[in-house]
Amino acid sequence: GPSTEDVPGDPQDVKATPLNSTSIHVSWKPPLEKDRNGIIRGYHIHAQELRDEGKGFLNEPFKFDVVDTLEFNVTGLQPDTKYSIQVAALTRKGDGDRSAAIVVKTPGGVP
């Protein structure tokens, strides 16, 4: 694969908090200055549904493009479901390293 020398390091201080049963608020800080390797053009947020064993296939991961902000509401999620949230910085060389996954569980919906 391509060398990772030229792409940015991982975003810092990533936080993810459920807002309601179908959305999660994500916030982060830019990669460390020494790890930016160019001008940060934006971020990608990756959200992957996590399932317990035996519950069938995972849905496709979500990918959100974020520009000019360090927070974002990930929406369109399932209630009462665990998600892995990762953020990657973007330069003209491509996507940088993803932040360590944070696992968040959305609350159950109203019955």
Domain hosting 35: range is 12-105
In a domain, 111, yes or no: no
Tens digits of residue pLDDT in 32-46:
999 999 999 999 999
The residue to which tokens 């934006």 are assigned: 42
Q: What is the pLDDT of residues 1-34, one digit of tens each?
A: 455 568 999 999 999 999 999 999 999 999 999 9
Question: What's the CATH number where 90 sits?
Answer: 2.60.40.10
Distance of CA 68 to the CA centre of its chain: 16
Q: Are the beta carbons of 79 and 108 closer than 8 angstroms? A: yes
Residue among 65, 89, 70 at smallest CA distance from 25:
70
Output the pLDDT for position 26: 98
Does the residue 58 lie in any domain?
A: yes
The stretch 80-95 carries a mean pLDDT of 95
Which residues fall within 8 angstroms of residue 52, CB to CB, at 6 or more apart? none
Residue 7 included in any domain: no
- Asked, for residue 6, whether it belongs to a domain, the answer is no
Q: How do residues 47-85 score in pLDDT, each as one tens digit?
A: 999 987 777 777 889 999 999 999 999 999 999 999 999
